[in-house]
């Protein structure tokens, strides 16, 4: 399993995924900073990366057009500082199963409660 940390999240998250035993890199280190979402999506599909992002809405739509993808991990909270990003990503790497055509969402609400949900992304018609 290979993960790519999106530019909306800290590149410091790469070490969390690596320590969990997975391969990980970030958009910055792949020369994709500022790339359009469609270009990033092409890279993800060609290189078989699971994307970790806070930009859930845009990428849910893009992943919905793919027949087969390596998965999407969406992190969310009202305040996405580095501490919160780390907390949510640590949970994600602990619970992730086979990410193929899956969306894993780890969300912290205003009260500090964390919800984890996984669903299969519908295939395009």
For the stretch 5-64, pLDDT in tens is: 999 999 999 999 999 999 999 999 999 999 998 899 899 999 999 999 998 888 888 887
125 found inside a domain: no
Structure tokens given for 57: 């809405």
The band of 112, judged by pLDDT with boundaries at 50, 70 and 90, is very high
Domain range for 71 is 2-120
Backbone angles phi, psi at 3, to 5 degrees: -115, 145
Note the pLDDT tens digit of each residue in 59-100: 888 887 788 888 899 999 999 999 999 999 999 999 998 888
103 found inside a domain: yes
Domains in the chain, number: 1
34 found inside a domain: yes
55 found inside a domain: yes
Q: Please tell me the pTM assigned to this model.
A: 0.92
């Amino acid at each position: 399993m290979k993960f790519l940390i999106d530019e909306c999240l800290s590149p410091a998250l790469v070490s969390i995924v690596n320590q969990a035993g997975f391969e990980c890199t970030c958009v910055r280190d792949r020369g994709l900073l500022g790339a359009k979402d469609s270009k990033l999506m092409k890279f993800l599909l060609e290189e078989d990366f699971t994307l970790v992002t806070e930009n859930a809405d845009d990428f849910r739509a893009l992943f919905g057009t793919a027949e087969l993808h390596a998965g999407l991990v969406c992190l969310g909270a009202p305040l996405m500082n580095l501490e919160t990003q780390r907390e949510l990503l640590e949970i994600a790497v602990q619970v992730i199963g086979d990410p193929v055509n899956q969306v894993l969402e780890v969300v912290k609400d205003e009260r500090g409660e964390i919800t984890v949900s996984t669903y299969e992304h519908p295939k395009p018609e």
